[in-house]
Structure 1
Amino acid sequence: MRVLLLGSGGREHALAHKISQSDKNPVLYCLPGNPGIAEIAEIVDLPMDFEMIKSFIQKTEIDCLIIGPEAPLVDGIVDYFNLHLPNLKVIGPGKLAAQLEGSKSFAKAFMDKFKIPTAAYKVFNTNDLGEAIAYLDTKKAPFVLKADGLAAGKGVLICRSKEEAATELKAMLQQAKFGQAGEKVVIESFLEGIEFSVFVLTDGKNYKILPEAKDYKRAFENDEGLNTGGMGAVSPVPFVTHQLMNKVIQKIVEPTVKGIQHEKMNYKGFLY
């Protein structure tokens, strides 16, 4: 089997590491990869261009394509290869399904529709700055501001005062702090508690729960910095019991998979 893995981060390094250990002895390629991945896979020096990747897949006779990063998924790479190379096995959600990660307002509306628990929220766009600032008066600090689109894990701000939140809203909605990703902003209620991440492998109908993790997002020691795409993680999570995981499955995982089916989304890949 010949496998092409797209991505260059720690996530792709972990995937490459496990794929390389398969007893099926796959021939593994990675685009664009990183120095760690280069030790276990052949690096492909191509841009993230669908046509060029298609030519490489055809020339190299790739059997399976695995997409790690969110951006090409949101751009429709799965739909593209399902159309142009229908016999290629592709792991990743289609363009519509990828909006669950690519647009926070889309995800919030999905959760509302399928009664999946989520923090109270309201969505504002570039013309709504005054309304957004007024909305802060209806909430208590701290305020959670989220850029709607992809921002490499850095688009969530926790503001400790209304003044700070108003300043950040202006930067996001009128000064393009996060570019196009911040043309819409979701203001959420702040939730207190201990966070952990759940990972699910699904074909859009069936699902398999993978080991959970405790993700440490903030930069610097003692969580003093801004959110990042992840500074480190611990798995398994000591405080996650079977009872708690069953609750997560019942209230979040199963309604999500049923919602994907109901909306006829193409989802063959990982839910996070």
Structure 2
Amino acid sequence: MNVIEKGELCYTGKAKAMYATNDPDVLWVEYLDQATALNGKRKVAIAQKGLLNNRISSLLFQDLAAHGIPNHFISQTSDYVQLVRRVTMLPLEVVVRNAASGSFERKFGVAHLTRLTPPVLEFFYKSDQLDDPAINDSQIHALKLASPATLAEVRRQALQVNHRLSEIFAAMGIQLVDFKVEFGLTATGTVLLADEISPDSCRLVDQATHRSLDKDVFRQDLGELTPVYQEVLTRLATVEGSSTHVSG
């Protein structure tokens, strides 16, 4: 196998920068030490955040693949870098909610952490300029963002991801309240889980205390973010049998 080399910058997002490589089917992803809120309007540098999210996301992607849920992850090559399979991203954020929190709680006046059975699945049109508006199947089809068959497969995989992630976090003593994932299409049109899965994209609370273990700590100014993400990684490493303590 050829050594993968970093190429030109393709895209810089809120928490990651993506680069081309000498392999047209592989992207080089660098996780950034920054946190954003309000769709990027608030941005703060946070030491080691990128390192922690890279490791957490890498472990979760590997676990999902081992449990029959394919995704774009190839390998973690350094503290801040992972290699992923190139896909054409669907302009949709897919949110799965197991309990009421955040916008769902505010919109419907539901008590915090009320269990939602079955889980609620929502789509949002990925656009910072429009503040990621909610979008339904009919609107997705009208705007030609995804075919009915693609959307059905996205929904199936998202619920499959929810089932496995809920198991993982429960073993860590953590409740998976909700999470956001994104999907892409391979060159042959196969739907593939992509982007990242980390405390940036999941809402997590300690099962015993309901203490936030995700980016809500940053959004709501509840304390330092790095120790929280380190705690999530430490618990995950214990479940996955890895050694991943971050020092310095």
TM-score normalised by the chain length of structure 2 = 0.28
Structure with max Cα Rg: 1
Richer in helix (by share) = 1
